[in-house]
Amino acid sequence: MIELALNKLQKYYGANMVLEDVTFDIQTSEKVGVVGENGCGKSTLLKILMGIEEHESGTISIKKNSTLGYLEQMPVYPEGYKVIDVLNTAFEKIDRLQKEMELIEKQLTEANEANMEKLLDSYSKVQTNYESLGGYEKEEKLSKVCVGLKIDEEFKNKLFTELSGGEKTTVILGKILLQNPDILLLDEPSNHLDLETMEWLEAYLKEYKGIVIIVSHDRYFLDNVVTKIIEIEDMKAKSYDGNYTAFVNEKDRQLKLQMEAFLDQQKKIKAIEKSIAQLREWGKNGDNTKFFKRAASMEKMLNKLERVNKPVMERQNININVNTGERSGDNVVIVKELYKSYDEKVLFNKADLLVRNKERVALIGANGCGKSTLIKILLGNLEADKGTASLGSSIKLGYLPQNVVFEAEDKTILETFREDIVITEGKAREYLARYMFFGEMVFKKIGALSGGERSRLKLAILMYKEVNLLILDEPTNHLDIASREELEEFLKDFEGTLLFVSHDRYFINNIANRVVELEGGILNSYNGNYEYYKEKIAQLKSGVEVKIIPKEENKIAKTKKEKVSNNTKPNNEFKKLKLEEKIEELEEKLKGIEEEINKFCDDYEKLDALYKEKVDLQKQLEELMEEYFS
């Protein structure tokens, strides 16, 4: 059943059109992701649905009596309101009904027989309403949401006005979830959440009974939650069934089909145009009006032809240049017995970590666990209480902070870029265009830049200078999906070492070859991407070792079966069996090395030796595999 429908919605800001033709419908319990480039009108669309902003034309149809909840709203609460008071505002209707029930209960104790039936009837109606709103599950719901969003007793008693922006967003998200609206509108809900909380929210939204509409650049989140994607592009909306990955595949397929149709039509148009020109030439040379009439008829037909638009296969995105500096030393980041605390909170307790040259390490952990603190110590902006956290030899560092700040806010983009770089204005503008600073935009003041524009400019400055170590703190925070993908492509080609803090699991999966989790003051290392980390954590929690059989082992097992059935030559079979034994032996050794690496992640000297042994064993294994399959 369709519960929400938009038809030909248009929106202007002054004389500028923002949305031209937004048409789609959403059915009962659908989970919908809204995607598109920054500034395409996604957030504006949610505000129009919520009634915060007007629209010029088109219609919005919402099922009668449907309630809406909107994350982006930041209501003002009375002075002295604590977090728990804000959360409890979600139960205003329930609390009113409860007071009404209590009042009727009191009246029942004093009522005579004449009023008793009337009061009981009123009580029954109020109680039914109270039950339908979930009044009896109020405490259970509150507990579930607070646990999921990590709102503990201490946090509940904090004043709402004293919270950070991210903390306020988390509280308002909790309040909206407790209100349980029929249509839930979420604008970047995962922005201020750590990985554990994001996964809880994903599970919660998947089971949510109402409609959920999510504006998000988090591809992993969209893959896990939504069943439909609405893309806003060129001020129009187009719907795709499935999650984000299904949308990408389907859009790519449709673009290819459109390109084929366009090229085919262009071929036919050129043939018709050639025929028209030829007919006119014949008519002119033979002084025959019939040829001119046929040419005019064909031209009329051509003008009526519905043209297939040429699809835009690649949109303008940042085009980062790969400019890696000279090779650094083998040991790039060295953390040894690091201890750091703030008052009674211990962030690092004899933590150890070694990051080697060309590794791509994702640093993850709960909000406030100390990830940014570690980066500050590495950069020399903060001192450790005990132990060391330092960079190795021959390091040329590039650092992209979470929130980019420039010293002179009144300078232009061009002036800021050229501040410490010797480059002509023309070359500088040509270079900045790769980062989507086109034409007159290079004269825009720094103070007027958005978060995404600041990150792009900082990245442009960093990458002009040759670096061999990149430290990135939440690099995808202000980037749209297309820019995230461009950044990923650049980082794949970057030949230096990469250490980055991120909550973007899609990004971690694409870039990291090692995940380091900061938990309980210790740095735990997992040699793989985010999926590998999740799998290892699940194994540790269950206490069951799940063996992953490499493709090579599957090939060997298959070959063994084929050997038996095909009755190959005895000598060849004996040789193969011997090779299999050696391969299995090396794989067991490699497995042991992996376990040792995870075990000794706090001893960088031991870790160094283990890595060298691992590389040597992998080389031997590759040689044996080549011999086996030759």
346 neighbors 521 (Cβ within 8 angstroms): yes
228 Cα distance to chain centroid: 17
Q: Is the pLDDT of residue 612 over 90?
A: no
Per-residue pLDDT band for 602 (boundaries 50, 70, 90) equals low
Q: Select the more confidently predicted residue: 454 or 228.
A: 228
pLDDT tens digit sequence for 406-455: 988 899 999 999 988 888 999 999 888 888 888 889 999 999 887 778 88
Q: Are 614 and 606 spatial neighbours (Cβ–Cβ below 8 Å)?
A: no
Taking residues 455-475, report their average pLDDT: 85
pTM over 0.75: no
**Banded pLDDT at 543 (limits 50, 70, 90):** low
pLDDT digits (tens, 9 = 90+) for 287-307: 777 888 888 888 888 888 888
Interatomic CA distance for residues 494 and 470, integer angstroms: 9
**Do the Cβ atoms of 235 and 20 come closer than 8 Å?**
yes
User: Comparing 495 with 373, which gets the higher pLDDT?
Assistant: 373
Report the SS3 class of residue 572: helix
Q: For 204-213, 216-225, 342-351, 587-596, which range has the lowest pLDDT when averaged over its residues? A: 587-596
Average pLDDT over residues 61-81: 85
The count of residues in the chain is: 630
Residue 251 pLDDT exceeds 50: yes
Q: In a 10 Å sphere around its CB, with 0-12 CB exposed, 13-18 middle and 19+ buried, how is residue 379 labelled?
A: middle
Buried b (16+ CB within 10 A) or exposed e, 141-166: bbeebbebbbbeeebbeeebeebeee
Amino acid 326: pLDDT: 65
Tens digits of per-residue pLDDT, 555-593?
Answer: 444 444 444 444 444 456 566 667 777 877 887 887 787
What is the C-alpha to C-alpha distance for residues 180 and 159, in angstroms, rounded to an integer?
24
Residue 614 has pLDDT above 90, yes or no: no
Confidence at residue 294, expressed as pLDDT on a 0 to 100 scale: 85
Does residue 348 carry a pLDDT above 60?
yes
pLDDT of residue 605: 66
Weakest mean pLDDT among 31-40, 75-84, 282-291, 523-532: 282-291
Q: Report, as an integer, the average pLDDT of 170-184.
A: 91
Exposed e or buried b per residue across 66-76, where buried means at least 16 C-beta atoms within 10 angstroms of its C-beta: eebbbbbeeee
Q: Which two tokens stand for residue 543?
A: 């206490």
Q: Are 269 and 54 in contact (CB under 8 A)?
A: no
Reduced to 3 DSSP states, what percent helix, strand and coil does the chain have, rounded to the nearest 5? 50, 20, 30
Residue 513 CA to residue 530 CA, distance in Å, equals 9
pLDDT reported for residue 557 = 44
DSSP per residue, 73-118: ------TT-BHHHHHHGGGHHHHHHHHHHHHHHHHHHH--HHHHHH
